[in-house]
Amino acid sequence: MITKNSPIGVLDSGVGGLTTVKELQRLLPKENIIYFGDNKNVPYGNKSQEEIISLTRRMIEFLISQNVKVIGVACNTISTIIDLISDDYDVKIIKVIDPVVDNIRNVLRKEKVGLIATNFTVNSGYYDKMLGDIKVYGKGSGELAAIVDSGKIDRIEVKEIIRTHVNSILEKESVDTVILGCTHYPIVKDIFEECYPEINFINPAFQQAEAMKEYLEEKQWLKEEESKAFKVYTTGDEDKYHTIMGMLQLELPQEIIQYND
Footprint of ligand DGL on this chain (CB under 6 A)? Answer: 12-14, 16, 42-45, 75-77, 118, 121, 145, 182-184
Residue 14: CB minimum distance to ligand DGL, A:
6
Q: Is 121 annotated as a binding residue?
A: no
Looking at the annotation, which residues are catalytic?
75, 182
Q: Is 235 annotated as a binding residue?
A: no
H helix intervals, the chain: 18-27, 49-65, 76-79, 97-103, 119-124, 126-131, 144-150, 155-172, 189-195, 205-219, 239-248
Closest to 192 measured CA to CA, from 169, 225, 226: 169
Is the torsion defined by CA of 204, 210, 213, 218 positive or negative? negative
Q: Is 12 annotated as a binding residue?
A: yes
Integer Cα distance of 247 and 65 in angstroms:
30
Q: Is 242 annotated as a binding residue?
A: no
CB closer to ligand DGL, 16 vs 236: 16
Residue 120: CB minimum distance to ligand DGL, A:
7
H helix intervals, 73-179: 76-79, 97-103, 119-124, 126-131, 144-150, 155-172
Write the secondary structure of 142-166 as one string of H (helix), E (strand) and C (coil). CCHHHHHHHCCCCHHHHHHHHHHHH
Integer Cα distance of 180 and 209 in angstroms:
16
Q: Is 151 annotated as a binding residue?
A: no
Integer Cα distance of 188 and 166 in angstroms:
14
Residue 16: CB minimum distance to ligand DGL, A:
3
The number of beta carbons lying within 10 Å of the beta carbon of residue 44 is 26
CB closer to ligand DGL, 12 vs 31: 12
CB closer to ligand DGL, 20 vs 25: 20
Residue 213: CB minimum distance to ligand DGL, A:
20
Q: Is 165 annotated as a binding residue?
A: no
DSSP percent split of the chain into helix, strand, coil, nearest 5 = 50, 20, 35
The number of beta carbons lying within 10 Å of the beta carbon of residue 157 is 12
Pairing of strands 200-202, 93-95: unpaired
Residue 79: CB minimum distance to ligand DGL, A:
8
CB closer to ligand DGL, 18 vs 169: 18
CB closer to ligand DGL, 6 vs 19: 19
- Binding residue ranges: 12-13, 44-45, 76-77, 183-184
Q: Output the known binding site for substrate.
A: 12-13, 44-45, 76-77, 183-184
